[in-house]
Structure 1
Amino acid sequence: MVSQFGSLGYTIMGKTADLTVVQKTIINTLHKEGKPQTFIAKEAGCSQSAVSKHVNRKLSGRKKCGRKRCTTNRENRSLMRIVKQNPFKNLSELHKEWTEAGVKASRATTHRCGRKEFGYSCRIPLVKPLLNHRQRQSRLTWAKEKKNWTVAQWSKVLFSDESKFCISFGNQGPRVWRKGGEAHSPSCLKSSVKFPQSVMIWGAMSSAGVGPLCFLKTKVTAPVYQEILEHFMLPSADQLFKDADFIFQQDLAPAHTAKSTKSWLNDHGVGVLDWPANSPDLNPIENVRGIVKRKMRNKRPKNADELKATVKETWASIPPQQCHKLITSMPRRIEAVIKAKGAPTKY
């Protein structure tokens, strides 16, 4: 029963009036099967009181009070079809298309119908890399090949990546408490610059922790990348793996896949993990970068030197336990890619 209803993903909390059609169906079905209300509430994604009120109201035969709906179930389903055809339409566009179909409803009714009847909410979309069919198939094939890898095997991988850190972190950071009319007060403003100072880094991590950072001053060409491997990748491997064997992970950037780079890695006896294109969700070092940026939210460096020092200090503060926890997520990442058939995952 958990697999039947738990995958629906409805988590709207509220009273009986706020229950969606799907939630009511789940409650009715499980109630007929004699399931306890706590179990029903968990499966339907609502409070136990909402389940109780819905069941008691239905058993008592009491009709719902309040103003009569101005739209029919058929008209509501037509709105759902409009949303599914293009979920990126704003409320005005949805309302216009719905009314053009002959439905007499206000903008508020359009919003309320989509939210309460079908559980739709207008959210900021997540940004994921664009994957073509060939790249999705490559990710899927790669994931199936690594499906049986254990955490111990992933712990032998040295993950690497280049990252950019700016003085300005966009809309991230602390909010401000202010009164009406203080929006333009200097004490309530958050400063921004058109071209913020930034630093580019190369870093590596494994289940044992993070390695030393390399701050990049020029564009990463094949010769520059080989210098990074010589002076930072090999020391990172010595620090994190001691004398044990390891596998090096890198993405498919041109400098990484150049013939001279492949020759350098081969000459130094470094085994390289095959890696699918456009797959940051498979690399746990991306999560390390996110952790560093979150820790830096309340630290506001004023120039590039302070930014560099802050990044270096924050990077070094990441404990090995946190890195190990990220490595243990690799089997789940692989499973998520297979389930998504190569499409982007939540990681």
Structure 2
Amino acid sequence: MNSGEINETPRIRRPHLTLDEKCKIVSMHSAGRKVSEIAAELQRGKQTIRDILNRWSNEESILRKAGTGKKRKTSEEEDTQLTQFAINNPFATNEQIANAANLELSKQSVSRRLKDVKRKRYVAAKKPHLTGDEIEERFDYALNYSNWTNDECNQVVCMDESCVETTPKGSIRVTRLRNTRFDKENIDDSQHAGRLSIPIHAWISYHGLGTMTKIDGHLNSEKYMEILQTEIPKINDRFQHNNWYLVNDRSPIHTANTIKEYIRSLPVHDMNHPRKSPDLNPIENVFGELKRKIKKRIRSEGRIRRKEQLWNWMSDAWKEIAESNFVYHLYRTFPIRFYEVTNKHGHFSRF
């Protein structure tokens, strides 16, 4: 055997004995059955059987006393102090929370105290920092459209750019024994060197997905103008009388003078989307779904070696989304997005 090999048998935690099982133990023992026989039949330890029989013999009861068990390490006052610090400092670690209350507690104990007040530590959502002017801008925008109905929201077209990469971001979980983290079968080796990426422009309407356009090279106002001149007629075909509203972020390329003049020349209503407001543009959710599908396929099929392969996979994923009700359900969230940003006085919604 390799001296460095570690064999570990996982501990199996059986459920507590039920009241019926405890009664059965007493009954079997009264009928003359041995402790070892009872333990074997019920698949319990001998000491567990003895504990039940001793309690019955000494107390004439098989019920567990209220309050027995491990003594609580903290008082009610200390619990209040601990949880209040955690509520006031939501980004503090479990160790910092315990230290602030001058308590020697494990991470698990801190988690249990937080659970008592319906708190749990989650991965924090990442959103861009908002200045006061940006918050006010978001609030005014959402308030302006907060009375829109679903029918009015169905006249909105959302467009933006994104970039799809072959290196899946984030970590995945693996079920394993302790001390086997670096065993070959437990290592995630799907993230290879040689990252590939494809920048895209895309748009959606209530009718479904629009075109996903591959952007060759660096995007500038000239290339963006070419994309608009190609895609606007396709959008017009979806709407009667060319009456639709445009949601487009305010990146320098989108707000170039030539682009603004071109959009003003069209029978299109620019909604003047506020800065740093991806939660108010549902196409961001489409991009997220597209990237999730690519990530999942990389996990299952392995590394992408050529950009042509990545583009083919992106096209397949785009088709899958188009054949679902994903976009339809996104458009149902438009009024909710406006309401939440208004209700939060310009801060981010859940989307």
Contact kept, 8 Å, 1:210 with 1:320, in 2: the verdict is no
Runs of 4+ in 1 over 6 A off after TM superposition: 177-180
Q: Which amino acid aligns with 1:288?
A: V
1:155 CA displacement: 0.9
Aligned to 1:70: 73
1:170 CA displacement: 1.6
Residue 267 of structure 1, aligned match among 265, 268, 278: 265
Aligned to 1:334: 338
Aligned to 2:82: 79
Instruction: Give a deviation string over 1:71-98, Cα, whole Å, max 9, x none.
Output: 2222211112321332212122222222
The alpha-carbon distance between structure 1 residues 109 and 314, as it changes in their structure 2 partners (threshold 3 A), is: closer
- The 5 A counterparts of 1:89-104 are 89-99=92-102, 103=103
Distance in 2 between residues matched to 1:184 and 1:63, nearest whole Å: 45
Contact kept, 8 Å, 2:242 with 2:268, in 1: the verdict is no
Aligned to 1:254: 252
1:110 CA displacement: 4.5
Aligned length: 281
Structure 2 unmatched ranges of 5 or more: 1-64, 299-303
Distance in 2 between residues matched to 1:182 and 1:91, nearest whole Å: 24
Distance in 2 between residues matched to 1:236 and 1:115, nearest whole Å: 54
Q: Which amino acid aligns with 2:156?
A: V
Aligned to 1:140: 139
Larger CA Rg, structure 1 vs 2: 2
Instruction: Give a deviation string over 1:223-278, Cα, whole Å, max 9, x none.
Output: 221111112x2143045336542122210000111111111112344331221111
SS of residue in 2 equivalent to 1:257: coil
Q: TM-score w.r.t. structure 1 length?
A: 0.73
Distance in 2 between residues matched to 1:65 and 1:238, nearest whole Å: 73
The alpha-carbon distance between structure 1 residues 273 and 193, as it changes in their structure 2 partners (threshold 3 A), is: same
Bigger drift between 107-116 and 193-202 goes to: 107-116
- The 5 A counterparts of 1:271-286 are 271-286=269-284
Structure 1 unmatched ranges of 5 or more: 1-61
Identity of aligned residues (%): 24
Distance in 2 between residues matched to 1:92 and 1:158, nearest whole Å: 48
Q: Which amino acid aligns with 1:114?
A: R
Distance in 2 between residues matched to 1:224 and 1:111, nearest whole Å: 55
Aligned to 1:160: 159
1:337 CA displacement: 0.8
Bigger drift between 187-196 and 246-255 goes to: 187-196
Contact kept, 8 Å, 1:251 with 1:277, in 2: the verdict is yes
Contact kept, 8 Å, 2:341 with 2:347, in 1: the verdict is yes
- The 5 A counterparts of 1:171-320 are 171=170, 181=180, 183-185=182-184, 189-193=188-192, 196-231=195-230, 233-241=231-239, 244-300=242-298, 301-317=304-320, 318-319=322-323
Q: TM-score w.r.t. structure 2 length?
A: 0.72
The alpha-carbon distance between structure 1 residues 302 and 177, as it changes in their structure 2 partners (threshold 3 A), is: farther
Contact kept, 8 Å, 2:139 with 2:342, in 1: the verdict is yes
1:167 CA displacement: 0.5
